[in-house]
Structure 1
Amino acid sequence: MSASPSNGVTPRHRPASPPMGRARYAVVLVLVALGMLLLGARIVTLHVLDQPFLQGQGNARILRTEPLSAHRGMITDRHGEPLAISTPVVTLWANPQEIADDRIQRLMLAQALGMSLDELDGRLERYADHEFMYLRRQLTPAAAQRVLDLRLAGVYAQHEYKRYYPAGEVTAQLVGVTNVDDRGQEGLELAYQPHLAGTPGKRRVVKDRRGQLVRDLEVLREAEPGGELTLSIDQRLQYVAYRELKKAVAEHEADGGIVVMLDARTGEVLAMANQPSYNPNNRAGLDPQGLRNQAIVDVFEPGSVVKPLAMAAILESGEYSLDTVIDTSPGWMRIDQFTIRDIRNYGELDLAGILEKSSNIGMSKLVLGLDEPRVPELYCRLGFGQSPETGFPGEAVGSLPAPVRWSSSQWAALSYGYGLSVSALQLASAYTALANDGVRMPPSLLKRAQPASGVEAIEPAVAHELLRIMEASVQPGTGGRRAAVPGYRVAGKTGTVRKSSARGYEKDAYRSLFAGIAPVSDPRIVTVVMIDRPRGDDYFGGAVAAPVFSRVAGSALRLLDVPPDQRERQ
């Protein structure tokens, strides 16, 4: 038996957990304090010293600078009617590396874009190594929003403008077109690209990691819209000219045609129609030939329509008078191994008769009787062989050979419209001299704020005499009778020209022309009509081109509120 303590009390037992030493406690406190100091120092460093760097890194992940598209300037006719306007559109693009490989999402995207799933997959595969690809260009905002509402990763929107042409094919070659990036490619859209384009702006935005817009922060630079362009064209007259030209080309199964109408007083182009044409709002299956503004960029031998101009030089020489009689018998003549012919033997003709009968023999004999090269000199004053200076891209200069060692046959050919080439615009501009007291008005495609200075090309008295003779050339019984306009006095000249090629003149291929002025009492318009290669028995200018002039000029005079001046021919 063990012995108990003497006091009879049992001892109390405690757990064996030694207390923390002072030294160890101090170390822990120092470590905690040091950590707090380091953390504080890091906070100070991040917020003070490294703040610009960190802020830049953050901004680089969320801040973006986006372009602000500039609104392209509008093109209008002389009365402010729109011929070319820009409408807002949305272009959708994608980052192929962010597009999910999910068949359902891709099918939804393809359907919203209006394409097949295979087509979408093929495009994504082709651009798999790129970070950018177009999904659809220039969608309407509503159509684009249907795609954006899917909220698919990797699909983004870009706001742009698309060009729209209210007059369509009627003014296509003159106004021109822009490409998908809204840059001018043809016509006046190209000629005035810097003026119409404007200057893009910039804005700063916040985007999330998926590239979706979170907030618009500020506009860094406002977009400056392009300037407007007011043409000299009268849209009403343009529609009339295009309608009648298209009808005539179809009726005669021709290759094409041109109508140019100028204001006789100012030289402004009131109408300029071409066939064939195209729809600038839908260029699918476009025939490149339709892009050409033939009235300005193409040239041709004018034929008999320049005989009144050559006659002006003959009369100004003083070597002939209106009473001079020329014997054109037997209806043909040989010059330098070339044979010049009239349609038939007209016998003796005075100068007015030579123009009315359009005698090549009479014109040749008159020119060969001159001592100086007056005809080419007058052609030069009328603008032949020179740029019309309209600013239109590719405008033709034409050709007027210098009179150096010319043969007699070349002199003769020049008098009846062969051996030189002109554009329809140049020809119309030359005729303004006959309509404007001998002063030729340079052509303009833009509405003029101030009257232009004309060029004195023909003596006023000679111009008046030629108007009288040309008026007689559209009376009943003449070749130009179909150009007559009921209620108005009209002067003009027909022309029928054989088409030329690299191998010479083509067989049974002609151009039919008519150039006219109305009304004679107070000339307001000059109009040139050319039908290219009409097929069938009717190919003369009086049968093909003159009726087009009659309908176009008649409608134009009524639309311009020109009072009728019908009178009996004395």
Structure 2
Amino acid sequence: MRHSNKSKKILALFLVLMLGFIIFLTVMLYTALHDRDIPSIFSEDTAKAQRGSIISADGFNIATTQKLYKAVVNTRNIDPDKEELFIQLFSIYSAIEPNEIRQRLHTRKGSVTLSYHISPKEAMYLKTLSFELRRLGVFIEYETPNGDRILQGLNIIESGEARSYPYGNLLTPLLGYPRKMEEDGYTRVYGIKGLEKFFDEELNPQQNRTQKALRDVNGYLILNKQSDVKRQINGLTVKLNIPITLQARVEAVTDRIKEQLKADEIIATVMDSKTGKIIALASSNRFDPSHIRTADYPSLNTNAIEYSFEPGSVVKPIIFSLLLDRGLINPYDMVNGHNGRFTMGRKTIVDEHAFHMISAEDVIVHSSNIGIAQLAQKLNGEEFTEGLKRFGFTHFSGIDLPYEKRGSIPSSAQLNNYLYKAITSYGYGMRSNAMQMIKAYNVFN
């Protein structure tokens, strides 16, 4: 009887041990086969590359990019007993009024954005503050319904970039303006007009910085040979041929002349005759690219190339040179001035100054419509058309700006007609932009 009881006890103990072993194997198998939330021993850090700058010939920053940051805090992580300490310290570091911070913290429970427009310098200080607040125990863990314990604290996050124009409306509308676009929660800047548009691809950032490496217990990266690092490649810097000092003086002249003439717009261009470089391109109609108003809309186009016009009498020296080049006239040939009024077919041509006879050279000196209309008859239609094209009319000027309007000239067939020749010889019936005109006149230089 005693032996039977002892056998039963041994059997029971064996069964208990077997059951425990089976449970242990089951747990181990489950753990091995199912995904687990194991904290990664690796950490990753990224930084957005920036749009390039535009600088003047004399080294001044005309357009630059500034990174923007936002400050985000989880209200559940703030110790209620130390909330006022957080508010006062954040106010000192961010220059935001305490009442405004307090109001934002109490709008909702959870993640709250305290500011969207933090400069890089402020972001650096606030990151230091975040570390100090953790050290002071301002942030505490909270438990989610799933049982997870969360500690987030104050996070300073890159939110986008803003374009800065330190000199206001200087160099506009040539400089152009940008537009902001949202990309995965990050605000990027793209050129829409002017130099910002033409060099948009070059100015755009090339590669963001990324660092993936082992982390220490505090989450800081341990950079070594095994780390995966991609360097930050910002957009290229565009350097202009235009110095600020000259540009500012030319713009002042356009402002003064516009007022004197009561004109819609004055455009002034200065070209280096030897190289063809534009060293000033000014308009009296300017705007601040950072703060474009509805009233600025008519000024947004660079009319030096985006607007074509009938050039008028400034074409006369060009027609005169075509005649000289082909040996069709001599500067001392005499032309009948018809006393300032001359009828060609159904067209009556009038001169401001009346002459009976005038030399071919004086046709240019006195800008005689009647004289140049008669001289132009010596050119046939093909000579006329090809001559204007050789001076650059109807061709792109080659300036580094988008949306150029090339203008137009009559066809060779039309310019075989005496009336077309006459009208075109003093700059009507054709169209040009200001940049084409200054390039044509540079031939004489």
Normalization by structure 2: what TM-score?
0.74
Give the equivalent residue in structure 1 for 2:354.
345
Shift in CA distance, 382/397, structure 1 to aligned 2, threshold 3 Å: same
Paired position in structure 2 for 1:165? 165
Aligned to 1:389: 398
Query: Larger relative CO (CA 8 A, sep 6+): 1 or 2?
Result: 2
Q: Can you give the 5+ residue segments of structure 1 that lack an aligned partner in the other structure?
A: 1-19, 208-212, 436-570
Indicate conservation of the 8 Å contact 1:69/1:161, yes or no. Answer: no
Alignment partner of 1:235 is 2:220: no
Deviations 1:415-455 (A, max 9, x none): 111111111111111111111xxxxxxxxxxxxxxxxxxxx
Equivalent residue number for residue 368 of structure 1: 377
Residues 168 and 279 in structure 1, CA contact (< 8 A), matched pair in contact too: yes
Work out whether residues 51 and 234 of structure 2, in 8 Å CA contact, stay in contact via their aligned partners in 1. Answer: yes
Among candidates 421, 427, 438, match of residue 428 of structure 1: 438
The verdict on how the C-alpha distance between 1:164 and 1:206 changes in structure 2, with shifts beyond 3 A counting, is: farther
Q: Give 1:216 shift.
A: 4.8
Summarize deviations over 1:11-63 as a string: whole Å, max 9, x none: xxxxxxxxx977357535642564366337635864xx459x42xx4458x98
For 1:195, what is the secondary structure of its paired residue?
Answer: helix
Instruction: Return the alpha-carbon distance in structure 1 between the equivalents of residues 293 and 168 of structure 2.
Output: 14
Residue-by-residue CA offset, 1:211-231 (whole Å, 9 max, x unaligned): xx9545766532212222222
The separation in 2 between residues aligned to 1:132 and 1:387, in whole angstroms, is 55
1:189 paired with 2:196, answer: yes
What pairs with 1:45-194 in structure 2 (closer than 5 Å)? 46=31, 49-50=32-33, 53-54=35-36, 57-58=37-38, 67-91=46-70, 137-141=116-120, 157-158=157-158, 160-180=160-180, 181-194=188-201
Q: Equivalents in 1 of 2:98, 2:162: separation in Å?
A: 22
Q: 1:115 to 1:298 in 2, by over 3 A?
A: farther
Q: Is contact 1:396-1:423 (8 Å) kept?
A: yes
**Correspondent of 2:285 among 268, 276, 281:** 276
Letter in 2 for 1:236: T
2:258 maps to which of 249, 255, 265:
249
CA RMSD of aligned residues (A): 4.1
Using the alignment, how far apart are the partners of 2:210 and 2:391 within structure 1? 51
Mapping for residues 410-429 of structure 1, pairs under 5 Å: 410-429=420-439
What is the SS of the residue equivalent to 1:411? helix
State the SS of the aligned residue for 1:35.
Answer: helix
> For structure 2, which runs of at least 5 residues remain unmatched after alignment?
134-138, 140-151, 181-187
- Listed one character per residue, the Cα deviations across residues 385-432 of structure 1 (whole Å, up to 9, x for unaligned) are 111233421012111221214432221111111111111111111111
Aligned in 2, Cα 1:374/1:146: closer, same or farther, shift over 3 Å?
Answer: same
Partner SS state of residue 182, structure 1: strand
Alignment partners' CA distance in 2, 1:256 and 1:187: 18
Question: Which amino acid counterpart does residue 190 of structure 1 have in structure 2?
Answer: K
Shift of the 136–191 alpha-carbon distance from structure 1 to 2, 3 Å rule, reads farther
In 2 relative to 1, CA 93–300 (structure 1 residues): closer, same or farther, beyond 3 Å?
farther
Change (3 A) 1:390 1:370: closer
**Alignment-derived partner of residue 145 in structure 2:** none
Paired letter, 1:81: F
Change (3 A) 1:183 1:32: farther
SS at match of 1:175: coil
User: Is the Cα contact below 8 Å between 1:187 and 1:392 reproduced in 2?
Assistant: yes
Identity rate of aligned residues, in percent? 22
The residue type equivalent to 2:420 in the other structure is Q
Which amino acid counterpart does residue 63 of structure 2 have in structure 1? A
**Contact between 1:138 and 1:162, CA under 8 Å: does it hold in 2?**
no
Cα shift at 1:75: 1.9
Residue 316 of structure 1: aligned partner? 325
- The AA in structure 1 aligned to 2:395 is Q
Greater mean deviation of Cα atoms: 357-366 or 142-151: 142-151
Q: Contact between 1:98 and 1:153, CA under 8 Å: does it hold in 2?
A: no
Paired residue for 2:207?
199
> How many Å separate the matches in 1 of 2:59 and 2:19?
80
Segment of structure 1 superposing worse, 135-144 or 79-88: 135-144
How big is each residue's C-alpha offset from its partner over 1:170-222, in whole Å with a ceiling of 9 and x where there is no partner? 21322223333222222222222222212223345999xxxxx9545766532
**Aligned residue pairs, count:** 395
TM-score by length of 1: 0.59
Task: Work out the CA distance in 2 between the residues paired with 1:257 and 1:171.
Answer: 14
Residue 305, structure 1, aligned to residue 311, structure 2: no
Q: Deviations over 1:467-498 (max 9, x none)?
A: xxxxxxxxxxxxxxxxxxxxxxxxxxxxxxxx
Contact 2:210 2:231 in 1 (8 A): yes
Tell me the CA shift for residue 343 of structure 1. 0.9
Q: Deviation per CA, 1:143-179, whole angstroms, max 9, x where unpaired?
A: 5667996989797622544322233312132222333
Q: Which structure has the bigger radius of gyration?
A: 1
Q: Greater shift after overlay, 137-146 or 348-357?
A: 137-146
CA distance in 2, matches of 1:277, 1:26: 99
Q: Which moved more, 1:277-286 or 1:265-274?
A: 277-286
